[in-house]
Amino acid sequence: MRQEEEKLLNEAANFEDLGRLHRDIFLMSLAAHGVPDTKVMRAGLALGPVALDRATDRSVLASMNIAIGDLDGYLERVVNLLELDLMATVLHLNARPVTVRGAWHWPGREMPPRVDKL
């Protein structure tokens, strides 16, 4: 899987591929969290094209800034970014609690049951 991860990271520089990159990483993270393949495929079908919004809610921007800070802290421990394990990084970020409008959520715990409802 290392080659696939490196390929995904290299492609991140191409903005046109952002939607596909998000889709691939999101679906890989669902599989890593133990979501059955049939549910991962169903989630993939439910995803639409990436939508960019210039009027993003401030709470979304705040959440993104917190995620960037968490990612930066994680990356400080990585000696060589070319050897970064993308899935380990995603799982690490999904294991931390986040707040949405004041409510605490655990992405890694909450994603599988939500996908199961699709």
Q: pTM of the entire structure?
A: 0.70
CA pair distance 81, 55, nearest whole angstrom: 33
Q: Give Rg (Cα) of the chain.
A: 15
Which CA distances in Å does 118 have to 19, 21, 40, 43, 100?
Answer: 20, 22, 10, 7, 22
Per-residue pLDDT of the chain (118 residues; tens, 9 = 90+): 577 766 666 655 566 677 788 889 899 999 999 999 999 999 999 988 777 777 777 777 787 788 889 889 888 888 888 888 888 888 988 998 888 778 899 999 998 899 988 8
The pLDDT tens digits of the residues spanning 54-69 come to: 777 777 778 778 888 9
Please report, for the chain, the start and end positions of each structural domain, with discontinuous segments joined by +: 2-116
How many residues appear in the chain? 118
